[in-house]
């Protein structure tokens, strides 16, 4: 690895340390720390993370998975993104089936999980009340996402889990205006991207953005998102990664 590469990885690691110490949003600081103190009965004997949750994965990844925010008793408890809740269970099973994870579950930070060619981040790194961050809080956290994207030098594909993540990816990178979604057959009629499961756009720099419904219980319990549907998302991401430049 070149010194330039070593420096980039060091910056990426330092960025995650900065994320974990962030206190930019008073409402989120109060909420995440309050949840960590009060806990819930089923986790009352566990020590909660209670801080902003860093991103996780392979720093040489070509695939970035972007979620919304840590769950109050999931990642806010475990300290690893998408770990300790139902959404994470769905996500890591799908990543394992697609060959991006060495195991199908993520339970805690020292469970041996390793991601290959995949990096996971979030629009917001703190658990928000009712899972609803404000516009200002999203803007405060965007600097971290923009910095991550710049440091993920091999990035080719982003899978956005949910509309907010989709909008954040577009806003952080920019859209040159050509839709390349399945069956589009030609250029987009509007520069405004439209979120829809498995919709696809080309962002600046040739990065492909693939949209997916979020694996929240609201979507999985109702059947809006099924495991085969989520598998299709990561199979498509894999296909994009194996396609010639």
Mean pLDDT of 165-174: 95
- List domains and CATH numbers for the chain: 3-242 (3.40.470.10)
- Angstrom distance (rounded) from CA 185 to CA 239: 19
Tokens of 230: 């989520």
Q: What is the mean pLDDT of the chain?
A: 92
The burial class, CB within 10 Å (0-12 / 13-18 / 19+), for 188 is middle
- Predicted confidence (pLDDT) at residue 33 exceeds the cutoff of 80: yes
Residue 178: predicted pLDDT: 45
Residue 63: predicted pLDDT: 98
Residue 213: predicted pLDDT: 98
Which of the pair, 19 or 192, is modelled with greater confidence? Answer: 19
> Nearest 5°: phi and psi at 101?
-135, 145
Which of the pair, 175 or 139, is modelled with greater confidence? Answer: 139
Mean pLDDT of 190-211: 91
**DSSP 8-state code for residue 86:** H
Residue 191: predicted pLDDT: 64
End-to-end Cα spacing for the chain: 23
Residue 175: predicted pLDDT: 79
Other CB atoms within a 10 A radius of the CB of residue 193 amount to: 21
Residue (of 21, 23, 17, 133) closest to 71 by Cα position: 133
**DSSP 8-state code for residue 73:** T
Residue 243: predicted pLDDT: 84
The percent of residues above 70 in pLDDT, for the chain, comes to 92
- Predicted confidence (pLDDT) at residue 42 exceeds the cutoff of 80: yes
Question: 188 falls in which pLDDT band (50, 70, 90)?
Answer: very low
Question: 179 falls in which pLDDT band (50, 70, 90)?
Answer: very low
- Angstrom distance (rounded) from CA 148 to CA 24: 18
Q: What's the chain's Rg over C-alpha atoms?
A: 17
Residue 181: predicted pLDDT: 41
Question: 80 falls in which pLDDT band (50, 70, 90)?
Answer: very high
**Do β-strands 118-122 and 56-57 pair in parallel, antiparallel, or remain unpaired?**
antiparallel
* 111-155 pLDDT tens trace: 999 999 999 999 999 999 999 999 999 999 999 999 999 999 999
- Predicted confidence (pLDDT) at residue 2 exceeds the cutoff of 60: no
Residues linked to residue 121 through DSSP beta bridges, in sequence order: 66
* 210-231 pLDDT tens trace: 999 999 999 999 999 999 999 9
- Predicted confidence (pLDDT) at residue 4 exceeds the cutoff of 70: no
């Amino acid at each position: 690895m070149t010194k330039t590469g070593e420096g980039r990885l060091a910056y990426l690691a330092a960025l995650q340390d900065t994320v974990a110490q962030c206190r930019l949003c008073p409402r989120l600081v109060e909420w995440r720390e309050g949840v960590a103190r009060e806990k819930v009965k089923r986790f009352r004997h566990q020590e909660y993370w209670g801080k902003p949750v860093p991103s996780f994965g392979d720093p040489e990844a070509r695939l970035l998975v972007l979620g919304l925010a840590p769950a109050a008793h999931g990642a806010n408890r475990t300290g690893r993104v998408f770990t300790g809740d139902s959404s994470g269970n769905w996500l890591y099973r799908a990543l394992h089936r697609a060959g991006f994870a060495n195991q199908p579950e993520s339970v805690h930070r020292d469970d041996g999980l390793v991601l290959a060619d995949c990096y996971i981040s979030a629009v917001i790194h703190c658990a928000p009340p009712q899972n609803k961050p404000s516009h200002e809080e999203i803007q405060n956290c965007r600097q971290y996402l923009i910095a991550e994207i710049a440091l993920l030098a091999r990035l080719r594909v982003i899978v956005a889990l949910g509309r907010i993540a989709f909008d954040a990816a577009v806003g952080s990178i920019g859209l040159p205006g050509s839709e390349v979604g399945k069956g589009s057959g030609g250029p987009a009629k509007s520069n405004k991207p439209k979120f829809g499961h498995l919709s696809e756009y080309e962002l600046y720099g040739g990065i492909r953005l693939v949209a997916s419904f979020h694996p929240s219980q609201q979507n999985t319990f109702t059947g809006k998102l099924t495991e085969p549907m989520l598998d299709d998302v990561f199979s498509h991401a894999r296909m994009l990664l194996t396609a010639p430049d």
